Amino acid sequence: MSREESHAIVLGASMGGLLAARVLSDHFDRVTIVERDALPLDASPTDAVHRKGVPQGRHAHGILASGRLTLEEMFPGLSATLRAAGAQEADLTGTRWILGGHRQRLDDLGFPGLCCTRPTLEAAVRARVLALPGVSARTEHDVLGLVHRRGRVEGVRVLGRRDGSAEETLAGDLVVDATGRGSKLPQWLEAMGYSPPAEERVRVKISYTTALFRRERRHVDGGIVLVVGAAPPNPRAGVALAVGPDTWIVTLIGYLGDRAEPSHEGCLAFSRTLPAPDLHELLADSEPVSEFSTSTFSHSQRRRYDALDEHPEGLIAFGDAMCSFNPIFGQGMTVAAHEARALGACLAGGETAGLWRRFYKSSRAIIDIPWSIAVGNDLRYPDVEGARPALGGLLDRYLDRVLAVGASDARVGTAFLRVTNLLDPPQALMRPTTLARVLLGTPARSTLASPAEGDAALATRG
């Protein structure tokens, strides 16, 4: 690949697009980000605002431990920037995870976790990316299609969203589709004469209700994270993250259309029926300091670009355009960070020929583990639609025991959190030392129950 005026184009300025642009700036003279939203390009993280292109941006977001480490590698000093913007930091022992109905005992991971809002994180990353030499953004532009000649994508056709705008063609050596789960790339491939990727779907019908709440130091024993995971047969979950010294962001989550009414009373009623009382106790000792927001997420989807035999050169799908996870597990931004690192490795030789094949192969290994974790948990609900693995029941029983033993054994609890934070593969839970602790340990008694019928009036199904 010639370094003279090489140009990469990234479609979409969400976290995935920004992380792709960061890596591409190491390999191309120019990187242009095309985004349909109007972005506050000069806003600092403390002035971050929500935007239409991130419909779930008002809800609690997490960056998993391995994702945070990767972001800090890509943007040295990012954590300090976020702390200055109000982000809260604590090691794992300063967090509370109630999984399978059991509060996990935890050891320190050796580095702290960080809590902030999605707009704060995105604004900090966007500012760093746009400050890179050669990186620019075309905001308020729609992508009309790709320019394709002789088996290669050579650019994109765009149209400004302001009145009087004319169609333009941006020429580029590489186009990265980071437009999210609504990506039109499958249709564009068909229009160019290629087969679209096969698609896997798991219909979870997740509903969110979120608000900011007043935070007191006595809440959660001074900790910054409270997670009450859904545990079959109970389809409800909740999370509280300290996103400022005096502020919680609280999100209540329901599977299969189950949702909390967007009011303090509705959230209290919903949280009372979670698999543990901790979040209800927090909400009963606080009050909302913002309006309530709601949203839905119908299905997880994975487009199998890695299985394609033919694909145009000069083009790749990235992030949610390739795989969109159930957001309840907080995997999306971390996977995008790992994909960005893989993209950089694929470009390290300075050659774009065959990039799509190399990148999709690398991404398959990145996606397989979080996809299996999320889908395996989702399919524990009989009404969730999706292909079920043959040994799913056996694995479910083992994981139930892991979580029950993790209530008293910090090594087991921490081992599970290392897997869900994508620091270790799932096979780590089968290592001889962990397996022995799980099988020989004393499991806590289960207290799980379905949501109480008495609260049905304040929780609805959509």
Task: Pick 96 or 352 by higher pLDDT.
Answer: 96
Please report whether residue 112 resides in a domain. no
- Asked whether residue 278 falls in the same domain as residue 317, the answer is no
Please report whether residue 382 resides in a domain. no
Number of domains in the chain: 3
Read off φ and ψ for residue 61, nearest 5 degrees. Answer: -125, 145
- Asked whether residue 235 falls in the same domain as residue 285, the answer is yes
List the CATH number of the domain containing 245.
3.30.9
| CA 374 from centre of chain | 11
Question: Is residue 441 pLDDT above 60, yes or no?
Answer: yes
Cα 302-203-185 angle, rounded to 5 deg: 35
- Asked whether residue 357 falls in the same domain as residue 399, the answer is no
- Asked whether residue 98 falls in the same domain as residue 237, the answer is yes
Phi-psi region of 168 (alpha: psi -120 to 50; beta: other; left: phi over 0): beta
Task: Pick 217 or 197 by higher pLDDT.
Answer: 197
Q: 3-class DSSP state for residue 230?
A: coil
pLDDT in tens, 71-98: 999 999 999 999 999 999 988 888 999 9
Cα 237-55-13 angle, rounded to 5 deg: 125
- Asked whether residue 211 falls in the same domain as residue 187, the answer is no
Interior/surface letters 77-97, b for 16+ CB within 10 angstroms, e for the rest:
ebbebbeebbbbbbebebbbb
Question: Is residue 54 pLDDT above 70, yes or no?
Answer: no
Q: Could you tell me if 231 and 450 are in contact, meaning their C-beta atoms sit under 8 angstroms apart?
A: no
Which residues pair with residue 239 across a beta bridge? Answer: 227, 251
Which residues pair with residue 32 across a beta bridge? Answer: 9, 136
Query: What is the pairing mode between strands 7-11 and 174-177?
Result: parallel
Grade residue 1 by pLDDT with cuts at 50, 70 and 90: very low
Q: 3-class DSSP state for residue 211?
A: strand
Average pLDDT value for residue range 436-457: 68
Q: Which one, of 298, 312, 445, 453, lies nearest residue 384 by Cα?
A: 298
Grade residue 47 by pLDDT with cuts at 50, 70 and 90: low
Q: Could you tell me if 32 and 129 are in contact, meaning their C-beta atoms sit under 8 angstroms apart?
A: no
CA within 13 Å, CB half, 81: 20
Please report whether residue 288 resides in a domain. yes
In the 8-state DSSP scheme, what is residue 234?
B
- Asked whether residue 44 falls in the same domain as residue 148, the answer is yes
Q: Could you tell me if 187 and 196 are in contact, meaning their C-beta atoms sit under 8 angstroms apart?
A: yes
Query: To the nearest whole percent, how much of the chain has pLDDT over 90?
Result: 80
Cα 318-324-325 angle, rounded to 5 deg: 130
Please report whether residue 84 resides in a domain. no
Match 């009382």 to its residue by tokens: 277
Q: Residue 276 is which amino acid?
A: A
In the 8-state DSSP scheme, what is residue 74?
H
| CA 289 from centre of chain | 25
**C-alpha distances in angstroms, 368 versus 300, 360, 453?**
14, 12, 38
- Asked whether residue 60 falls in the same domain as residue 167, the answer is yes
State the CB neighbour count (10 A cutoff) for residue 150. Answer: 7
Range of 207's domain? 89-104+201-298+453-461
pLDDT in tens, 196-210: 999 999 999 999 999
pLDDT in tens, 17-30: 999 999 999 999 99
- Asked whether residue 418 falls in the same domain as residue 318, the answer is no
Q: Is the dihedral of CA 439, 440, 441, 445 positive or negative?
A: positive
Q: Which one, of 174, 207, 261, 181, lies nearest residue 456 by Cα?
A: 261
Task: Pick 455 or 373 by higher pLDDT.
Answer: 373
List the CATH number of the domain containing 150.
3.50.50.60
Grade residue 51 by pLDDT with cuts at 50, 70 and 90: low
Distance of alpha carbon 261 from alpha carbon 267, whole angstroms: 6
Please report whether residue 235 resides in a domain. yes
- Predicted local confidence at residue 445, as pLDDT: 75
Grade residue 459 by pLDDT with cuts at 50, 70 and 90: very low
Distance of alpha carbon 456 from alpha carbon 462, whole angstroms: 13
pLDDT in tens, 124-161: 999 999 999 999 999 999 999 999 999 999 999 999 99
- Predicted local confidence at residue 44, as pLDDT: 61
- Predicted local confidence at residue 163, as pLDDT: 86
Q: Residue 232 is which amino acid?
A: P
> Residue 335 has which token pair?
């996977």
Per-chain mean pLDDT for the chain: 91
- Asked whether residue 215 falls in the same domain as residue 252, the answer is yes
- Predicted local confidence at residue 202, as pLDDT: 96
Grade residue 50 by pLDDT with cuts at 50, 70 and 90: low
Please report whether residue 110 resides in a domain. no
pLDDT in tens, 276-312: 999 999 999 999 999 999 999 999 999 999 999 999 9
Average pLDDT value for residue range 53-63: 76
Question: Is residue 457 pLDDT above 60, yes or no?
Answer: no
User: Based on C-alpha coordinates, what's the Rg of the chain?
Assistant: 22
Please report whether residue 48 resides in a domain. yes
Which residues pair with residue 98 across a beta bridge? Answer: 103, 228
- Strand segments (E) across 68-107: 88-90, 95-99, 102-103
- Predicted local confidence at residue 41, as pLDDT: 64
- Predicted local confidence at residue 351, as pLDDT: 80
- Asked whether residue 125 falls in the same domain as residue 159, the answer is yes
Which residues pair with residue 9 across a beta bridge? Answer: 32, 175
Phi-psi region of 140 (alpha: psi -120 to 50; beta: other; left: phi over 0): left
Please report whether residue 352 resides in a domain. yes
Distance of alpha carbon 219 from alpha carbon 279, whole angstroms: 10
- Asked whether residue 269 falls in the same domain as residue 333, the answer is no
Question: Is residue 112 pLDDT above 80, yes or no?
Answer: yes
Average pLDDT value for residue range 345-360: 92
**C-alpha distances in angstroms, 125 versus 118, 138, 172, 319?**
11, 17, 24, 16
Average pLDDT value for residue range 38-63: 70
Return the biggest CA–CA distance within the chain.
72
- Asked whether residue 161 falls in the same domain as residue 71, the answer is yes
